[in-house]
């Protein structure tokens, strides 16, 4: 699907000897027709995902997003069996404030990618918004052509949950998409709050879409987000807006010069594009491929992925340790008393913490006695 | 020392009926003369601190900063006994990049405060720098007049440690200073890294010192730090620099307008000052007093302090849970294996985390069996 087509370096190479999806057997196709009638067993999911069956992939992601313990258990088994087939992709984060034209950009960008012969999955992270509740239809409407493209898989945001939970579900969905043969993964995020940081922690390349403003380009940017960007594209660079966009592009280039050099050895690129006019789109994709080539060569690509995996594990451990602690009944019962002592200047925050930890450890040990 | 002097509202009021330091007894003075000869008992420390004896206060803070378990134990006892006498102060964080003139500003600002009859303690947080290793002399030299002022207590940064550790030590030092009757606490921080966030989490009022630049005022600011500021003062507004400073002041005022309104009900103030010429200093102090009056009245002052205490306790719990976890031998032995499986795409970060947590919980429970 990818490495053997050899599009003059445009297609992604299979580096790890990962087994590629087999074609769907007639028998399997027959079975899938009945998926609405009977529940699938794990093997059905694995075979369906590995053969690139989109409805099965979609159903598996629904299990990941479900909060039912049964679903979670099945999902974890599916993920564990898909992990060995994951990783063979380039993961691209795309962000930008509402109105910047993300959907139109991703539609054009996605068509360009699938025309090159690659398979594209688009996932969305939007934990802060109620918008996502009804966004399946929304996203399909937003990206009409891409939705109909057999080489594209579009999946809207999980409908609810904390950022930590949503981030985990997206990480797991990436694994399934990669196991299903999608070798370009776009993670779209709405330009608000902390979701950019979460997306940055799970992608290889981070693309920031901006608009040309009226001379106030820098004031609107969250500095931390600009520091994360591997490329900034000024969208809607068409018609009367083109000159403004070129000026904005220069402003951003100057601003990026102020940042310290990145460990990747990559210099963040700034350019203009117009998703509506279709200009600058292939340039954006070439930049991403250049980035991949550079960082694969200097080792940063793999190093970053390993760091991301480790960071994700440490964050999960931290979250779990805290959840276990605060869900313990004796802690829930004692915390308000300690807080009262704290607020009345009877103890320090350090002593209060130490007391609660001692109670917790004692409780844990006591459960066995 | 404070409330009863009634400097037309300039002095801080004692709100909680906190017992004020007694004068030092002749007998105690005699005993203090021998402090270099014999070790102090806890009662000596408490009496010394409560009577405002600076050498004793200094020795107690040295115990807080020590990493020896014996010293830590003594320090915790001293702190616990001082906590009931703490809180009666206004805590002011002052930050700004090196070269902005923080030392000179604090010297002038401090003299202004002590002349009003208040007692001032100046603590410094600088976890990132080796500079602090020899900074006792450095700080004393930096603030010559203030060092000689009987109503000022200047204590340089703890010489080493993580930001979390340094922050905790500073919090504890604040308690001792307040118990010793210091009713204005300045926490100075070097304008680098994360220390501003730590300082912000322990002060009532956050003052940012800036310099007038050459039209690029906004680019140099970390947006997050500007959002924390309750006031911004453009320092070195003297001579040829005055006009530039006034322009910069206007730029910052405009930039602050872009920020959402603060929960405190306070609008961040921007003004110019010159520590060298002594201008703008009393204005800075008046602004802080106005802030205190407003937030005491609308309840935000106390609410913020309670939130800070609670946040500090939760952070300590989180740090302690993680330390306990990663210091467990079986975790230290297993972590590299799990990481290897993670990096070889054999498990997910979530499954890896779950495995380690299960091992940890089992180990904890087993210790009792």
The enclosing domain of A23 has a CATH number of 1.20.5.170
**Tokens matching residue B127:** 């976890």
Q: Is residue B7 part of a domain?
A: no
Name the B residues in 85-104 with CB < 8 Å from any A CB.
86-87
Q: Which domain holds residue B24?
A: 18-85
Distance CA B4, CA B2 (A): 6
Question: Tell me: the pLDDT tens digits for B19-51?
Answer: 444 455 566 656 656 555 567 899 999 999 999
Residues A324 and A228 in one domain: no
In chain A, which residues have their Cβ closer than 8 Å to the Cβ of B316? 349-350, 352-354
The CATH number assigned to the domain holding B106 equals 3.40.50.300
In chain A, which residues have their Cβ closer than 8 Å to the Cβ of B172? 348, 350
Choose among A222, A354, A368: nearest Cβ to B366. Answer: A368
Residue A233's SS3 state is: strand
Q: Which of B85, B111, B130 is the last residue of a domain?
A: B85
**Tokens matching residue A297:** 């060569």
Q: How confident is the model at residue A336 (pLDDT cuts 50, 70, 90)?
A: very high
Q: Please state, for a pLDDT cut of 70, what percent of chain A lies above it.
A: 79
Domain count, chain A: 3
Q: Please state, for a pLDDT cut of 90, what percent of chain B lies above it.
A: 59
Predicted confidence at residue A84, as pLDDT, reads: 95
Residues B171 and B318 in one domain: no
Segment A291-298 mean pLDDT: 97
CA atoms within 13 Å, Cβ hemisphere of B329:
1
Question: Tell me: the pLDDT tens digits for B49-73?
Answer: 999 999 999 999 999 999 899 999 9
Choose among A175, A317, A348: nearest Cβ to B325. Answer: A317
The verdict on B309 touching A (C-beta cutoff 8 Å) is: yes
Segment B130-154 mean pLDDT: 67
Query: Do residue B324 and residue A79 have CB atoms under 8 angstroms apart?
Result: no
Q: How confident is the model at residue B337 (pLDDT cuts 50, 70, 90)?
A: very high
Predicted confidence at residue B15, as pLDDT, reads: 38
Q: Is residue A32 part of a domain?
A: yes
Predicted confidence at residue B11, as pLDDT, reads: 37
Question: Tell me: the pLDDT tens digits for A249-266?
Answer: 988 888 777 777 788 999
The verdict on B299 touching A (C-beta cutoff 8 Å) is: no
Predicted confidence at residue B31, as pLDDT, reads: 60
The verdict on A368 touching B (C-beta cutoff 8 Å) is: yes
Predicted confidence at residue B248, as pLDDT, reads: 87
Q: How confident is the model at residue A286 (pLDDT cuts 50, 70, 90)?
A: very high
Q: Is residue A14 part of a domain?
A: no
Segment A324-343 mean pLDDT: 96
Name the A residues in 255-294 with CB < 8 Å from any B CB.
255, 258
User: pTM for this one?
Assistant: 0.76
Query: Do residue B76 and residue A351 have CB atoms under 8 angstroms apart?
Result: yes
Distance CA A220, CA A169 (A): 30
Q: Is residue B5 part of a domain?
A: no
Residues A355 and A243 in one domain: no
Residue B354 in this model has a pLDDT that exceeds 80: yes
Q: How many other C-beta atoms lie within 10 A of the C-beta of residue A337?
A: 12
Shortest CA distance from B306: residue in chain A: A343
In angstroms, how far is CA B131 from the centroid of its own chain? 18
Residues A135 and A207 in one domain: yes
Distance CA B228, CA B230 (A): 7
Q: How confident is the model at residue B160 (pLDDT cuts 50, 70, 90)?
A: low
Q: Is residue A12 part of a domain?
A: no
Highest mean pLDDT among A17-21, A32-36, A165-169: A165-169
Long-range contacts of B72-79 (CB under 8 A, 24+ apart): B74/B42, B74/B45, B75/B172, B76/A350, B76/A351, B77/B42, B78/B42, B78/B45, B78/B46, B78/B49, B78/B176, B79/A348, B79/A350, B79/A351, B79/B172, B79/B175, B79/B176
Residues A140 and A69 in one domain: no
Distance CA B228, CA B159 (A): 26
Residues B61 and B201 in one domain: no
The verdict on B359 touching A (C-beta cutoff 8 Å) is: no
Residues B120 and B27 in one domain: no
Predicted confidence at residue A24, as pLDDT, reads: 55
How confident is the prediction for chain A on average, in pLDDT? 83
Q: How many other C-beta atoms lie within 10 A of the C-beta of residue A357?
A: 18
Predicted confidence at residue B34, as pLDDT, reads: 59
Segment A331-355 mean pLDDT: 95
Query: Do residue A87 and residue B316 have CB atoms under 8 angstroms apart?
Result: no
Q: How far is A258 from chain B (nearest CA, A)?
A: 9
Residues A71 and A186 in one domain: no
Predicted confidence at residue B56, as pLDDT, reads: 95
**Tokens matching residue A202:** 């799970």
Question: Tell me: the pLDDT tens digits for B234-291?
Answer: 999 999 899 999 988 988 888 777 777 788 999 999 999 999 999 999 999 999 999 9
The verdict on B219 touching A (C-beta cutoff 8 Å) is: yes
Selected residue with higher pLDDT from A92 and B196? A92
Predicted confidence at residue B16, as pLDDT, reads: 41
In chain B, which residues have their Cβ closer than 8 Å to the Cβ of A306? 343
Strands ordered across the beta sheet of A90-96? A152-155, A120-125, A184-190, A90-96, A205-210, A231-234, A269-272
Query: Do residue B361 and residue A364 have CB atoms under 8 angstroms apart?
Result: yes
Choose among B175, B356, B365: nearest Cβ to A367. Answer: B365
Predicted confidence at residue A141, as pLDDT, reads: 58
Please state, in angstroms and as integers, the Cα–Cα distance from residue B234 to each residue in B192, B207, B270, B273, B285, following that order. 18, 11, 8, 6, 15
Distance CA B92, CA B187 (A): 6
Which run of H or E residues covers position B283?
helix B281-297
Distance CA B106, CA B188 (A): 9
Q: Print the SS3 string covering A297-332.
A: HHCHHHHHHHHHHHHHHHHHHHHHHHHHHHCCHHHH
Predicted confidence at residue A193, as pLDDT, reads: 57
Q: How confident is the model at residue A191 (pLDDT cuts 50, 70, 90)?
A: low
A101, A209 Cβ separation under 8 angstroms: yes
Q: Pick the residue of B252, B345, B359 with the most A CBs within 10 A to test the interface with A by mutation.
A: B345
Predicted confidence at residue A262, as pLDDT, reads: 82
Residues B24 and B166 in one domain: no
In chain A, which residues have their Cβ closer than 8 Å to the Cβ of B321? 318, 321-322, 325, 357
Q: Is residue B157 part of a domain?
A: yes
The verdict on A218 touching B (C-beta cutoff 8 Å) is: yes
Q: Which of B64, B85, B106 is the last residue of a domain?
A: B85
Query: Do residue B219 and residue A255 have CB atoms under 8 angstroms apart?
Result: yes
Place of tokens 């594009």: A273
Q: Which of A278, A298, A318 is the last residue of a domain?
A: A298
CA atoms within 13 Å, Cβ hemisphere of B120:
27
Q: Is residue B4 part of a domain?
A: no
Residue B132 in this model has a pLDDT that exceeds 80: no
Name the B residues in 36-65 with CB < 8 Å from any A CB.
none
Residues A112 and A171 in one domain: yes
Residues B182 and B70 in one domain: no
Residue B79 in this model has a pLDDT that exceeds 80: yes
In chain B, which residues have their Cβ closer than 8 Å to the Cβ of A338? 313
Q: Is residue A1 part of a domain?
A: no
Predicted confidence at residue A164, as pLDDT, reads: 76
Selected residue with higher pLDDT from B32 and A239? A239
Size of interface A-B (CB pairs under 8 A): 153
Query: Do residue A357 and residue B312 have CB atoms under 8 angstroms apart?
Result: no
Predicted confidence at residue B368, as pLDDT, reads: 40
Predicted confidence at residue B266, as pLDDT, reads: 93
The verdict on B353 touching A (C-beta cutoff 8 Å) is: yes
Choose among A310, A321, A346: nearest Cβ to B342. Answer: A310
Distance CA B116, CA B281 (A): 13
Distance CA B200, CA B212 (A): 24
Q: How far is A309 from chain B (nearest CA, A)?
A: 6
The verdict on B29 touching A (C-beta cutoff 8 Å) is: no
> Crossing angle of helices A300-326/A163-179, nearest 10°?
140
Distance CA A168, CA A174 (A): 10
CA B22, B26, B28, B29 torsion: positive or negative? positive
How confident is the prediction for chain B on average, in pLDDT? 83
The verdict on B161 touching A (C-beta cutoff 8 Å) is: no
Q: How confident is the model at residue B133 (pLDDT cuts 50, 70, 90)?
A: very low
Residues B282 and B183 in one domain: yes
């Amino acid at each position: 699907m990818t490495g053997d087509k050899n599009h003059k370096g445009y297609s992604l190479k299979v580096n790890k000897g990962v087994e590629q999806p087999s074609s769907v057997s007639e028998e399997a196709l027959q079975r899938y027709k009945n998926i609405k009638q009977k529940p699938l067993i794990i093997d059905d999911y694995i075979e369906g995902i590995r053969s690139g069956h989109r409805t099965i992939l979609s159903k598996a992601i629904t299990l990941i997003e479900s909060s039912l313990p049964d679903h979670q258990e099945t999902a974890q088994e599916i993920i564990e069996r898909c992990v060995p087939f994951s990783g063979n992709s380039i993961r691209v984060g795309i962000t930008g404030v509402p109105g910047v034209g993300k959907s139109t950009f991703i539609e054009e960008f996605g068509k360009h990618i699938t025309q090159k012969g690659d398979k594209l999955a688009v996932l969305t992270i939007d934990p802060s918004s109620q918008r996502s509740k009804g966004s399946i239809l929304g996203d399909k409407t937003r990206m009409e052509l891409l939705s109909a493209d057999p080489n594209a898989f579009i999946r809207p945001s999980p409908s609810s949950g904390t950022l930590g939970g949503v981030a985990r579900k997206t990480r797991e969905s990436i694994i399934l998409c990669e196991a299903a043969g999608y070798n370009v993964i776009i993670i779209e995020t709405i330009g608000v709050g902390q979701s950019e940081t979460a997306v940055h922690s799970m992608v290889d390349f981070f693309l920031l879409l901006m608009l040309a403003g009226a001379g106030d380009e820098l004031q609107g940017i969250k500095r931390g987000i600009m520091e994360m960007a591997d490329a900034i594209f000024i969208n809607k660079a068409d018609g009367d807006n083109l000159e403004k966009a070129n000026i904005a592009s220069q402003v951003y280039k100057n601003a990026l010069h102020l940042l310290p050099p990145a460990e990747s050895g990559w210099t963040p690129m700034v350019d203009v594009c117009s998703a509506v006019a279709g200009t600058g789109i292939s340039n954006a994709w070439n930049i991403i491929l250049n980035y991949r080539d550079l960082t694969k060569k200097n080792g940063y690509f793999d190093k970053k992925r390993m760091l991301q995996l480790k960071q994700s594990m440490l964050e999960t451990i931290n979250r779990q340790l805290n959840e276990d602690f605060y869900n313990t009944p004796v802690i829930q019962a004692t915390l308000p008393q300690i807080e009262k002592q704290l607020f009345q200047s009877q103890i320090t925050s350090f002593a209060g913490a130490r007391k609660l930890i001692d109670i917790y450890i004692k409780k844990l040990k006591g459960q066995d006695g």
